[in-house]
Amino acid sequence: MIISDFKRTKDKLLFTPGPLTTSTTVKEAALIDLGSRDSAFIAIVQQIRQKLLALAHVESPNYEAVIIQGSGTFGIESTITSAIPASGMLLNIVNGAYGRRMSQIARIHHIPLIELMYDENQLPDLTVIETLITENPEITHIAVVHGETTTGLLNPIEEIGEIAHRLKKTFIVDAMSTFGAYDIDMRALKISYLISSSNKCIEGIPGFSYVLAKRIELEKCKKNVRSLSLDLYDQWSGLNTNGQFRFTPPVHALLAFNEALIELENEGGIEARAQRYADNNALLIGGMEKLGFTLYLSPDVRSYIITSFLYPGHPDFSFEVFYSKLNDMGFVIYPGKLSKVDCFRIGNIGQLYPVDIQNLIDAVEKVIHEMNIVFTEQKKQ
């Protein structure tokens, strides 16, 4: 398909973990060319940084927001490689693919690492975390993913933050798919570093990630540099000294994000957005269960961001066929990412409303009838 054909087609609805469906006004905000040294652009960047801190209930100078060009992983890699000194050690609590990715980053950069591994539907054991830290005093940093987008599981960051604080460890939270949709008070939750990106629950377009960090922690990063472009300290000092990025900034994505932040405020802030996502999620789960689908996660560990559904357990079920039929009808869902179980995922974040969820459920019903799918019992793990 050539690009002019794309322009003629209606946007599909993205029931994915990102990039997400965004508002027309957010996309339109990107339709301006601004130089990276333009004073209007520099002012917008400073405003975005302040608003991000405010969303996390903190402010400068005790906390700082650093914007990093690239996707969410760039922000995570920047944080891990800048925060942990050569003499330090990372305890990474893992129950999904994004947790595994943080370990991969640590290994690539030869950062000493202890991994605490769990199944993808299991919450970490807090007593084990505490014992492990006590028995390994060389641990300096603890990392965990808040919303494990692999499954939709929500990790207990409040409890882990309390342990980190009590045992004087630096706490790193990958809040990629939750920030903006869950109210996260960085100070109260004892989070030293929180990472998310432009195209998740703030509902901007892709192009950058951001790291919200405690200033005293950021200052320690100066001596830990392992990468030029991902040097969190240098990126921060660049933004703080003259408001400019060290390298070409994602100008259009930042303009769109500025609009997305205004639209978040207009919606009623995080509380209202959380409610819309939770309502979407309840409708989605109710509708899919009524059709016969089974959820992978139990209710006590689930977030309202994305939901994993087991394959129907019918020999004729093909995810590729299911996906393409829904795609042809304008609904984009997401494959599973689980190591042991066949699942697919449906996200309900972004510019999606109950009517969109209902239309998706109606489309799923139509497709499973066309595919002659009959549900049979399926084992969860």
**184 binds ligand PLP per the rule CB under 6 A:** no
- Taking CB under 6 A as the binding criterion, the range among 105-113, 144-152, 261-269, 350-358 that sits at the site for ligand PLP is 144-152
Q: Select from 15, 41, 63, 98 the one that contacts ligand PLP (CB under 6 A).
A: 98
Comparing CA positions, the residue from 152, 186, 88 lying closest to residue 301 is 152
* For ligand PLP, the closer CB: 97 or 329: 97
SS3 assignment, position 84: coil
Which 13-42 positions form the footprint of ligand PLP (CB under 6 A)? Answer: 17-18
* For ligand PLP, the closer CB: 147 or 336: 147
Q: Which residue type does 339 have?
A: S
**259 binds ligand PLP per the rule CB under 6 A:** no
Q: What are the start-end ranges of the E strands in the chain?
A: 13-14, 63-69, 90-94, 113-117, 141-145, 147-148, 153-154, 170-174, 193-197, 208-214, 306-310, 331-332, 334-335, 343-347
The residue with its CB nearest to ligand PLP is 72
Rounded CA gap, 198 and 258, in Å? Answer: 10
Q: Please count the residues of this chain forming the interface with ligand PLP, following the rule CB under 6 A.
A: 13
Spatial contact of 105 and 162, defined as CB atoms under 8 Å apart: no
**71 binds ligand PLP per the rule CB under 6 A:** yes
* For ligand PLP, the closer CB: 197 or 280: 197
Least Å from the CB of residue 293 to ligand PLP = 22
The tokens of 249 are what? 């900034």
Report the 3 state secondary structure along 26-39.
HHHHCCCCCCCCCH
**250 binds ligand PLP per the rule CB under 6 A:** no
CA angle 304, 306, 308 (to 5 degrees): 120
* For ligand PLP, the closer CB: 17 or 250: 17
Strands 63-69 and 208-214: antiparallel
**176 binds ligand PLP per the rule CB under 6 A:** yes
Least Å from the CB of residue 18 to ligand PLP = 5
Note the residues at the interface with ligand PLP (CB under 6 A).
Answer: 17-18, 71-73, 98, 145, 147, 149, 174, 176-177, 197
